[in-house]
Amino acid sequence: MSVLAKFKCYEKTERISYIEDTVNVTVRLNGVMGEPFGGATPHAQCEMSICNKAAADAFMLGAKYEVTFKRVTSPKPEHPPKILDHPQA
């Protein structure tokens, strides 16, 4: 089973990044009431720290986003996990 959640970006903060070729952006989103689960989950928050410029540019203040939550059933992740598309420090 998966659950579709709707969020609205209410804050986007960019800071100086000390790692070459990256950004330092924090986005904060609040849940938006919507069906089919809006009445069952009237409150939701999401906060992300983003270092990839293309990913950071995808978030705009006031814009709404849909997120699908689905339980992961694959084998345990590698330790330490690999970070994709992230320059080595």
The structural domains of the chain, with segments of one domain joined by +, span: 2-70
Mean of all residue pLDDT scores within the chain: 82
Is residue 12 predicted with pLDDT exceeding 80? yes
Average pLDDT (65-88) is 70
Is residue 59 predicted with pLDDT exceeding 70? yes
Contact 25, 49 (CB under 8 A): yes
Q: What are residue 54's phi and psi, to 5 degrees?
A: -65, -40
pLDDT of residue 77: 62
Confidence of residue 33 (pLDDT cuts 50, 70, 90): confident
CB-count exposure of residue 27 (10 Å: 0-12, 13-18, 19+): buried
pTM of the model: 0.70
